[in-house]
Amino acid sequence: MTANAFQTTHGFTPEGEWAAPGRVNLIGEHTDYNDGFVMPFALPHTTHAAAARRDDGTLRLHSSAKPSHTVQLRIDDLEPGGIDNWAAYPAGVVWALRGAGHDAIRGADIHYDSTIPIGAGLSSSAALEVVTALALRDLYDLPLHPWQLARLCQRAENVFVGAPTGIMDQTASACCTKGHALFLDAQDLNHRQIPFDLAAEGLCLLVVDTRVKHTHSDGEYGQRRRGCEEGAAALGVNTLRDIPYEELDAALAELKDESVRRLIRHVVTENQRVERVVAALEAGDARGIGPLLTEGHMSLRDDFRVSCPELDLVVEVANETGALGARMTGGGFGGAAIVLVADGISDKVAEAITTRLPGARIFPAAPCAGAQRLR
């Protein structure tokens, strides 16, 4: 389908087609930029790219999500902050790849299709970057593995687009594997693929896209990040990662500012929750992670203060209706929540949520493959 759309837009057959998924984060929120732990898995929703090389220094980009736009750019003219539409993400990837010395890239025609809800906290931006990076890597035969692609995509989003995200989203899209959640240490990118077989345990994980996005979310994200940096500086550590759970009380006792204390408490307890979720899953106790999800939500709501009434409502209704646990996922202030529920009552829980939040879009999700070449 994407290849056909490419043919219609560009007038010839693409050289290949690639896919990169969106993600949900099972646990470990607002921890990646504190060098902590995260645990995303890949969604069945993907962004596809059909692409072909060009040798004239031109990038021609088209997305079915933005049908009125074919964006044409000169790759030698790309500079951070220079593009104020969606094309900044893929152009940023070209800029980051060339900046890392991969100047074999002389241009490309790319058409994108996506089934990832855009702007819902499910990382459509990272999927767009990663699918672009993978296509260019293969087309230009660049010696890059998925972990390096993820880093370059993060650089594209941070520096070229100007959105200060951590490393989780791009790594999830590039490196997740089917049937697993990716336990990732954002400090050194150490990782383990943790089996997360919902069906075998009679479980279902619902993703609830609230379709709400509170407009101040970007500013709040930056504020939380700065608060975490202040907290780390006040405690004389590099990042909040360096505070072990056992030393949390002592660390908090050193600080006066209540809002900074709360940020620190969230990050340190959240890192510990990730480790507890890993331990439960490795012990074959997927049900046991339910209460940890809900605990994580409370911490994001009360200490990190990035939830919103709609996300709180989803968690409350899910738990009242018999879910094993639920939490907001992603940056917060809208976007999505996840609900862990026994198979038999997933319809009942989903119905209860839609009754109270009629705009919500709900789908089940099991861990899918990371980015790959399709043909």
Chain residues that interact with ligand ADP, rule: CB under 6 A? 47, 63, 65-66, 86, 89, 112, 114, 118-125, 128
Tell me 304's DSSP state. S
- By beta-carbon proximity to ligand ADP, the closer residue of 118 and 369 is 118
Q: Which of 35, 113, 169, 303 is catalytic?
A: 169
Nearest partner of 138 among 22, 20, 8, judged by Cα: 20
- By beta-carbon proximity to ligand ADP, the closer residue of 173 and 321 is 173
* Sheet bearing 58-63, strands edge to edge: 70-74, 58-63, 107-114, 40-53, 16-25, 372-373
In the complex, least distance from residue 330 CB atom to ligand ADP, rounded to whole angstroms: 6
Task: Tell me how far apart the alpha carbons of residues 168 and 38 are, in angstroms, rounded to a whole number.
Answer: 7
In the complex, least distance from residue 125 CB atom to ligand ADP, rounded to whole angstroms: 3
Task: Tell me how far apart the alpha carbons of residues 92 and 72 are, in angstroms, rounded to a whole number.
Answer: 14
Token match 């510990």: residue? Answer: 272
Answer whether 369's CB lies under 8 Å from 21's CB.
yes
- By beta-carbon proximity to ligand ADP, the closer residue of 9 and 114 is 114
Structure token digits, residue 289 = 């992670």
Answer whether 126's CB lies under 8 Å from 23's CB.
yes
In the complex, least distance from residue 118 CB atom to ligand ADP, rounded to whole angstroms: 5
- By beta-carbon proximity to ligand ADP, the closer residue of 20 and 289 is 20
In the complex, least distance from residue 192 CB atom to ligand ADP, rounded to whole angstroms: 25
To the query of whether residue 169 is one of the catalytic residues in this protein, the response is: yes
Answer whether 372's CB lies under 8 Å from 19's CB.
yes
Residues that bind Mg ion (CB under 5 A): 125
Task: Tell me how far apart the alpha carbons of residues 299 and 266 are, in angstroms, rounded to a whole number.
Answer: 6
Structure token digits, residue 44 = 């069945």
Active site amino acids: 169
